[in-house]
């Protein structure tokens, strides 16, 4: 383990002790060199050898004693840290690697595992696309050059489809043949105030089984106006793949009418276009206002049960699930999010992600407030709540960061949150994509990371990892199974919103240099990891 001198000083180890330890170690190394040199001389006597060895032994014993003192100091400091829960935190840096630069515009990015079976996986590819305008948008798959069977060192492009106004996407093995298919929304319309009332189409692009083959076959799932985000899972049945669709609003400009959650269930033979996907609208009569959902999180079952869904909207954060015993949908409001303010059509929450703390798969809930908001917040559980518990837990909201005032449209700078353990310490970090500001400001642009310090008290340490505009984040083992990297896409050319001056898709590769922060001090420490 490499310990820098500054790190030791910050842990209150006396500087004189460190300097003396360095001196004795240098002296011991010189003695060792002298022994080797003199052993080659014929006049080197046994007594001289014994004398040098005794000096070396004395030095090593003294160094050992010093190290024991240092260890004791660290142990005392550790006890103090654990009792106060004020942990020294660090976050390694990430090296930007261009996937594609000088793009016309940008909107969505997703890590795409080509195969559905984890034991057959290569590093995932990247799918990226723009929202579109008068022209169609290319749904592009960038082939991962770090894959074992990659034929190029560049991110080769394969166009899967040409669509009009695509928005959210996800993936699932719809056919069960071992290859993931793309599930995507298109025909959304130019903006929330110019929705296509006959749009909101959900389709799936059938994986050809060959990553070099483009123009995947398009197959229809369903449609609903204002459809904005989509997730795949098993929500009411385990027998068939299901797709949950989340409209942002139900008609152009209407920010007051409640928006539905629509569940589509695959037919017996999804490849047969004559078989339709069954459609069900989840009956959430508890909703009293528009949802304006911007993102939702699917909580995958770990025991073979049904999946649950966390939704962000005007009502804050709400957990919904289907109860198999009583055969009905259930819901639980986790928290109300940001408060309503005069003239502002957005309140509550705009994005949600579930974070893991140790063995607790529901250690915290991260969110931004509200729609395209300016506030990062978390919900944490009571210390007596069981690991994995969500619906019956007692949640407390904590605001972590305010990014400044909203603009004249009542919108801020934040677009996406995700939770992932990017430093490998066993606890998830909250990762936030910040679009851009007008006028430009580095404090309101880029990729931000919030690392848990004292989870019960809702305390997180903040790091900024990139300065480029970020519309969305994709976290995955893009280069190695031992390291998590992340990819970002700029937010640009979305009508009525921010426009990045240099739209790009960037892979941010996990580096071997750690950035540590304690109060206002910054320290760089080398990391030793197997890549």
Indicate the DSSP class of residue 24: H
Statement to judge: residues 79 and 186 lie in one domain: no
Residue 346 inside a domain? The answer is no
Indicate the DSSP class of residue 55: H
pLDDT at 470: 79
**Pick from 254, 282, 310: which residue ends a domain?**
282
Spatial separation of the C-alpha atoms in residues 243 and 307, rounded to whole Å: 11
Statement to judge: residues 138 and 253 lie in one domain: yes
pLDDT at 166: 94
CA-nearest of 109, 167, 104, 116 to 140 is: 109
User: How many whole angstroms from its chain centre is CA 294?
Assistant: 16
Residue 54 inside a domain? The answer is yes
Residue 465 inside a domain? The answer is no
Indicate the DSSP class of residue 294: -
Spatial separation of the C-alpha atoms in residues 344 and 326, rounded to whole Å: 39
In terms of residues, how long is the chain? 531
Q: What is the mean pLDDT of each run of 10 residues along the chain (531 residues)?
A: 35 43 53 51 57 65 66 56 48 87 76 84 90 83 89 92 94 96 94 85 96 96 93 94 91 82 95 95 56 61 83 90 92 88 82 94 92 88 92 95 76 84 93 74 79 94 84 90 86 57 83 51 37 34
Statement to judge: residues 113 and 75 lie in one domain: no
Statement to judge: residues 243 and 147 lie in one domain: yes
* 438, 372 contact by CB (below 8 A): no
Spatial separation of the C-alpha atoms in residues 185 and 113, rounded to whole Å: 19
Statement to judge: residues 119 and 186 lie in one domain: yes
Spatial separation of the C-alpha atoms in residues 423 and 527, rounded to whole Å: 11
pTM, full prediction: 0.77
Tally of domains in the chain: 2
The terminus-to-terminus CA distance of the chain in angstroms comes to 18
What residues are labeled active site?
228
Residue 508 inside a domain? The answer is no
Statement to judge: residues 233 and 266 lie in one domain: yes
Statement to judge: residues 111 and 80 lie in one domain: no
Residue 56 inside a domain? The answer is yes
Spatial separation of the C-alpha atoms in residues 502 and 102, rounded to whole Å: 6
Adjacency order of strands within the sheet including 137-142: 108-112, 125-129, 137-142, 157-163
Spatial separation of the C-alpha atoms in residues 124 and 130, rounded to whole Å: 20
Statement to judge: residues 135 and 59 lie in one domain: no
Statement to judge: residues 204 and 128 lie in one domain: yes
Residue 212 inside a domain? The answer is yes
CA dihedral 225, 226, 228, 229 (to 10 degrees): -50
**Pick from 282, 302, 332: which residue ends a domain?**
282
Statement to judge: residues 53 and 170 lie in one domain: no
Statement to judge: residues 66 and 127 lie in one domain: no
Spatial separation of the C-alpha atoms in residues 246 and 318, rounded to whole Å: 14
pLDDT at 45: 61
Spatial separation of the C-alpha atoms in residues 471 and 106, rounded to whole Å: 8
Residue 518 inside a domain? The answer is no
Residue 271 inside a domain? The answer is yes
Give the residues across from 265 on adjacent strands. 242, 278
Statement to judge: residues 131 and 68 lie in one domain: no
Indicate the DSSP class of residue 193: T
**Pick from 282, 315, 349: which residue ends a domain?**
282
Print the domain residue range for 72.
5-84
């Amino acid at each position: 383990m490499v310990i820098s001198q500054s790190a030791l000083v910050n842990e209150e180890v006396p500087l004189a002790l460190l300097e003396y330890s360095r001196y004795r170690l240098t002296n011991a190394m010189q003695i060792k060199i002298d022994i080797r040199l003199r052993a080659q001389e014929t006049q080197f006597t046994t007594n001289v050898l014994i004398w040098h060895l005794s000096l070396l032994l004395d030095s090593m014993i003294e160094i050992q004693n010093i190290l024991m003192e240092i260890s004791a100091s660290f142990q005392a400091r550790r006890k103090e840290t654990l009792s106060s829960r004020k942990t020294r935190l660090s976050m390694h840096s990430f090296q930007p690697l261009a996937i594609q630069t000088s793009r016309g515009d940008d909107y969505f990015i997703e890590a795409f595992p080509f195969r559905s079976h984890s034991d057959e996986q290569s590093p995932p590819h990247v799918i990226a696309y723009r929202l579109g305008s008068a022209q169609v948008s290319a749904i592009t798959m960038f082939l991962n050059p770090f894959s074992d069977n990659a034929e190029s060192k560049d991110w080769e492009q394969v166009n899967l489809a040409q669509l009009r106004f695509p928005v959210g996407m996800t993936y699932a093995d719809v056919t069960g043949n071992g290859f993931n298919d793309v599930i995507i929304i298109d025909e959304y319309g130019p903006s929330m105030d110019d929705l296509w009332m006959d749009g909101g189409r959900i389709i799936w692009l059938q994986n050809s089984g060959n990553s070099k083959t483009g123009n995947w076959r398009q197959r229809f799932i369903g449609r609903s106006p204002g459809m904005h985000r989509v997730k795949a899972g098993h929500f009411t049945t385990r027998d068939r793949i299901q797709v949950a669709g989340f409209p942002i609003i139900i008609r152009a400009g209407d920010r007051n009418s409640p928006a539905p959650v629509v569940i589509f269930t695959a037919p017996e033979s999804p490849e047969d276009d004559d078989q339709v996907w069954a459609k069900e609208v989840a009956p959430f009569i508890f909703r009293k206002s528009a949802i304006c959902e911007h993102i939702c999180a699917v909580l995958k079952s770990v025991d073979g049960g049904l999946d649950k869904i966390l939704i962000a909207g005007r009502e804050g954060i709400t957990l919904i699930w289907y109860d198999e015993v009583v055969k009905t949908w259930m819901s639980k409001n986790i928290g109300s999010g940001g408060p309503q303010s005069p003239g502002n059509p957005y309140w509550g929450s705009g994005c949600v992600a579930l974070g893991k703390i140790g063995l607790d798969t529901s250690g915290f809930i991260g969110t931004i407030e509200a729609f395209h908001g300016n506030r990062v917040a978390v919900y944490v559980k009571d210390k007596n709540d069981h690991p994995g518990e969500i619906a019956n837990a007692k949640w407390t909201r904590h605001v972590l960061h305010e990014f400044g005032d909203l603009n004249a449209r009542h919108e801020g700078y934040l677009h996406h949150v995700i939770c992932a353990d990017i430093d490998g310490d066993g606890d998830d970090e909250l990762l936030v994509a910040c679009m851009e500001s007008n006028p430009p400001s580095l404090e309101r642009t880029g990729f931000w990371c919030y690392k848990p310090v004292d989870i019960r008290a809702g305390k997180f340490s903040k790091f900024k990892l990139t300065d480029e505009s970020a519309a969305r984040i994709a976290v995955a083992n893009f280069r190695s199974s031992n390291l998590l990297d992340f990819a970002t896409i700029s937010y640009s050319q979305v009508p009525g919103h921010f426009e990045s001056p240099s739209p790009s898709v960037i892979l941010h590769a996990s580096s071997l240099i750690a950035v540590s922060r304690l109060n206002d001090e910054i320290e760089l420490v080398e990391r030793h990891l197997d890549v």
